Amino acid sequence: MAILKILTYPDKFLKQPTKPLENIDGQTQKMIDDMAETMYQAPGVGLAAIQAGFDKSVIVYDVAPRDEKRDLHVLINPRILEKEGSVLSENEGCLSVPDFRSDVRRYATVLVEGLDRDGNPVRIEADGFLSVVLQHEIDHLNGILFIDRISALKRQLYTRKVKKQMKKS
């Protein structure tokens, strides 16, 4: 297994919508293993393939990545079928948006459909933290970062900081 490089804002690759995964083959399994390893090492609660440079509709997540016992979930070609309510996700962050956190308005509950790593159809009805994680990761597959969902003023604070850092290095 390998630790992958996580792309960070403002890398343009992160802005592009991913393609559905057509074949779940050995290469897919290796990508998933590497994505999981990368997520646990970070550590993060979720990782979308696009963040690791793969233009594919795949996410991995574990809402308690620091627990000794891993509870890894894989979703291929996930999509939100139903969404309901509203919740403020507090202090949301992203491995592709280092050193920045913000509250984000999210749906309270979502019904998500996709395939597991063996290609079996799965449906997940989620609320609470898992609901937020699924929305965040599925956003990645559509080229959306959580900073796209906050106020323009807050986003500017971050983008200015990044631009300054880029000039320095």
Q: Which residues are catalytic?
A: 137
The sign one gets for the Cα dihedral 60, 103, 131, 50 is negative
For residues 14, 20, 24, 26, the Cα torsion angle rounded to the nearest 10 degrees is -30
Q: Which residue number, 24 or 158, has a Cβ lying nearer to Ni ion?
A: 158
110 near Ni ion, rule: CB under 5 A? no
Per CB under 5 A, the list member of 94, 126, 130, 141 interacting with Ni ion is: 94
Q: Kindly state the number of chain residues that form the binding site for Ni ion, as judged by CB under 5 A.
A: 1
Q: Which residue number, 24 or 162, has a Cβ lying nearer to Ni ion?
A: 162
Q: Which residues contact 43 (CB under 8 A, 6 or more apart)?
A: 65, 66
Q: Which residue number, 115 or 139, has a Cβ lying nearer to Ni ion?
A: 139
Phi-psi region of 77 (alpha: psi -120 to 50; beta: other; left: phi over 0): left
Q: How far is the CB of 95 from Ni ion (least distance, A)?
A: 6
User: What is the contact surface with Ni ion in residues (CB under 5 A)?
Assistant: 94
